[in-house]
Amino acid sequence: MTGPSLAQVADDARRAFASTVDSSAADRARWLIAVADELDADASELIALAAEESHLGSSRLTGELARTTGQLRLFAHAIVEGSYLEATIDHPEPASTPPRPDLRRMLRPLGPVAVFSASNFPFAFSVAGGDTASALAAGCPVVVKGHSAHPRLSLRTAALVVRALDACGAPDGVFGHVAGRATGVALVRHPAIRAVGFTGSLHGGRALFDLAAGRPDPIPFYGELSAVNPVLITRAALDARAGELAAGLAASVTLGNGQFCTNPGVVFAPAGSGFAQLVAAAVGTPDPMPMLSEGIAAAYADRLAELAGHDGVSIVAGEVVQQPGAAAPVVASTTTSTVLADPSALLAECFGPAVLVVEYTSVGEALDAIRAIGGSLTATVHAEPGEELRDIVAVLGEVAGRVLFAGWPTGVAVSWAQQHGGPWPSTTSIHTSVGVTAIRRFLRPVAYQDAPEAVLPPELRESNPLGIPRRIDGVLTLP
């Protein structure tokens, strides 16, 4: 049995936009909360399906589903609060040069959005995940392309989303689901689609990015693609707490069998410190665990073989030859001089439970190697109180969207201040895909000049009937 065609789903989304573009924040908040409630009510079945298809385990998946419904409710709160709209009013000023007319500006929804589900987060970055939540919150209909790694979960989640939206009176076509690689390509090309959200591989994301840019009417492609998430450990930090740092790194690298986009893949430690051996001891010799898919497991094994075959790289712990469909941790080591001589080979992402420990003789040398990484989602420094960090922070801020000074990058809080995105190749834009400001991806500014009060959106009317924060004549004004 097959579902509706892409043409039908996309056309339904286009028609739905005529309603969602002018929908109230209160209505959209009801839609989001209804979806969250529906998913929570069906949690047992969803978690069982996800565990069967992803091998991630019910404990991890229970937390991920809670995160998913929590972010739906967070967006519901945010859109009613209203500051995300950046509502701005400049009253007329005839005496200014040039004379200023009445100008009123706010962010408006782009139109139907295509969302590509991710394999490694079957809830939080999937059918009802952050891209879907933020697009619906913005007032954009969504067409989700389900991931082949969890097809039954995708279909079940989509059915629950549709049921929740129908029950609370959302417009027909506000949410649709399609499947298949060829369908995904056609989805990006479809003229009804006005933006794309994607989480996945660098290769696949780049191909879709090029399709989006190559359309007769290019559209924004918001892809989260690849990251090695460098970590720099100072000598003082290692002298003070080497065992603690090794244990923390080992736990982060192996969390979820290493299948996190924030996995710390390259760690810089002082030469002669023996840190790689400490990490190897902390990792131990766990049994291989199933990966999300056969393809991901094969790519992990191939990448390990590339690392192990490189001159100057030593395997400190683990086996390069992996079991089919599974992965076991690997700790490798090298030096900054080796990395700087061939950065493209040594600083590529290894998606799985592996880490490359790079020994440095000076912090400046380590920073040169970190610059060679390019863009990353995160960058971390472990130092001791009182150490001078300005040069380190400057470089880490150049290459990453989130800079950590404690802990490890796995685990991404969903909040107003979160930034999950960085320079290429980690993402294709400057925006975040996690947190409230992820909604900004699916909005565009519109200014109204000398508009009659009756045609203005309520958010820009003089009386501020919705009671939202606005900037009026340059002054931020709270309700």
| pLDDT digits 0-9 by tens, 372-384 | 998 999 999 999 9
Domain contains 432: yes
C-alpha atoms less than 13 angstroms from C-alpha of 235 in its C-beta half-sphere: 10
Q: Is the pLDDT of residue 454 over 80?
A: yes
Domain contains 412: no
Q: Is the pLDDT of residue 417 over 80?
A: yes
What domain range includes position 155?
A: 6-225+428-477
Q: Are residues 164 and 235 in the same domain?
A: no
Q: Are residues 398 and 450 in the same domain?
A: no
CA 13 to CA 168: how far, in whole Å?
17
What are phi and psi for residue 143, nearest 5 degrees?
-115, 115
Q: Are residues 441 and 318 in the same domain?
A: no
C-alpha atoms less than 13 angstroms from C-alpha of 211 in its C-beta half-sphere: 22
Which residues have C-beta within 8 Å of that of residue 151, sequence separation ≥ 6?
Answer: 53, 179
Domain contains 419: no
Tokens of 221: 């492609």
Average pLDDT, the chain: 96
pLDDT score recorded for residue 3: 76
Please say whether the beta carbons of 448 and 103 come within 8 A. yes
Q: Is the pLDDT of residue 63 over 70?
A: yes
CA 9 to CA 180: how far, in whole Å?
14
**Can you say how many angstroms the Cα of residue 297 is from the centroid of all Cα atoms in its chain?**
22
CATH code, domain carrying 384: 3.40.309.10
Domain contains 471: yes
Q: Are residues 107 and 209 in the same domain?
A: yes
Q: Are residues 444 and 371 in the same domain?
A: no
Alpha helices, DSSP H, located in 168-201: 181-189
Q: Is the pLDDT of residue 367 over 50?
A: yes
Q: Are residues 152 and 284 in the same domain?
A: no
In terms of phi and psi (left: phi > 0; alpha: psi -120 to 50; beta: otherwise), the region of 386 is left
| pLDDT digits 0-9 by tens, 105-164 | 999 999 999 999 999 999 999 999 999 999 999 999 999 999 999 999 999 999 999 999
Q: Which of 72, 198, 111, 206 is nearest to 147 (CA)?
A: 198
pLDDT score recorded for residue 355: 97
140 among known catalytic residues: no
Catalytic residue among 38, 261, 350, 459: 261
Q: Output the CA–CA distances (angstroms, integers) from residue 358 to 271, 306, 375, in the order listed.
A: 8, 16, 18
Catalytic residue among 38, 53, 64, 224: 224
Domain C-terminal end among 370, 404, 438: 404
Domain contains 135: yes
For helices 151-167 and 43-54, give the axis angle rounded to 10 degrees: 160
351 SS3 class: coil
Q: Average of pLDDT values for 431-458? A: 97
The count of other CB atoms within 10 Å of the CB of residue 406 is 9
261 among known catalytic residues: yes
Helix, strand, coil proportions of the chain in percent (round to 5)? 45, 20, 40
Q: Are residues 136 and 249 in the same domain?
A: no
Give the pTM.
0.95
Please say whether the beta carbons of 316 and 332 come within 8 A. yes
Domain contains 243: yes
Domain count within the chain: 2
**Angle at 246 (CA atoms; ends 125, 61), nearest 5 degrees:** 25
- The share of the chain scoring above pLDDT 90, in percent, equals 99
Q: Are residues 381 and 439 in the same domain?
A: no
Q: Are residues 264 and 182 in the same domain?
A: no
Look up tokens 């998606």; give the residue. 351
Strand pairing class (231-233; 175-178): unpaired
Domain contains 1: no
Q: Which of 230, 229, 221 is nearest to 200 (CA)?
A: 221
Domain C-terminal end among 389, 404, 419: 404
What are phi and psi for residue 20, nearest 5 degrees?
-70, -30
Alpha helices, DSSP H, located in 55-201: 58-81, 130-138, 151-167, 181-189
Tokens of 400: 């990453």
Domain C-terminal end among 372, 404, 436: 404
Q: Are residues 81 and 35 in the same domain?
A: yes
pLDDT score recorded for residue 2: 64
Which residues have C-beta within 8 Å of that of residue 300, sequence separation ≥ 6?
Answer: 258, 291, 322, 327, 350, 351, 352, 354
CATH code, domain carrying 212: 3.40.605.10
pLDDT score recorded for residue 1: 44
Which residues have C-beta within 8 Å of that of residue 165, sequence separation ≥ 6?
Answer: 31, 34, 35, 174, 175
Q: Are residues 217 and 287 in the same domain?
A: no
Q: Are residues 104 and 72 in the same domain?
A: yes
Please say whether the beta carbons of 303 and 348 come within 8 A. yes
The count of other CB atoms within 10 Å of the CB of residue 22 is 12
Domain contains 420: no
Exposed e or buried b for every residue in 348-378, given b needs 16+ CB within 10 A? bbbbbbbbbbbbbeebebbbbbbebbbbbbb
